[in-house]
Copies of this chain bind each other. A is one copy, B any other.
Amino acid sequence: MTESWLNKVNWSEDGLVPAIAQDAATGRVLMVAWMDRDALKRTVDSGEAVYWSRSRKKLWHKGEESGHVQKVKEIRLDCDSDVILLQVEQQGGIACHTGRESCFFSRLEQGHWVETDAVLKSPDEIYKK
């Protein structure tokens, strides 16, 4: 398979694009992370989400420590070819490192960010390995 589809992506100057992970069953937006060319290729080849960690500056197979792997059901690209949208099956039902289903657990309510979602599993327990 040629990799011309990878060239269609409008990688930024630093070689990244944002990738949204959306729960394929519920439609909930779980998280946004970043992908470089290699991360996207590995995601396609493995069927599991692989991101580029900007803080750790390395590839990050989501769930490698926590077990919260994302099985990828569909990959879409937007009209500017600079954002990726993944439909995923979230293993363990937890995408966020805080132990919540989604990273978007803060809602703006009358001038305050309010944490609306419960912690399903404590990070200490998730990352105890």
- List the 4 shortest-distance A-B pairs measured between CB atoms, nearest first: A27-B27, A78-B103, A76-B104, A75-B108
Contacts of A121 in B (CB 8 A): none
Taking CB as reference atom, which chain B residue is nearest A110? B1
How many copies of the chain does the oligomer comprise? Answer: 2
Binding site for B on A (CB under 8 A): 1-2, 4-5, 8, 18, 20, 22, 26-29, 31-32, 44, 74-81, 83, 85, 96-98, 100, 103-108, 111-113
Interfacial chain B residues near A4, Cβ < 8 Å: 111
Task: Kindly state the separation between the CA atoms of A75 and B111 in the bound complex, as whole angstroms.
Answer: 11
- Of B27, B77, B108, B113, which is within 8 A of A104 by CB? B77
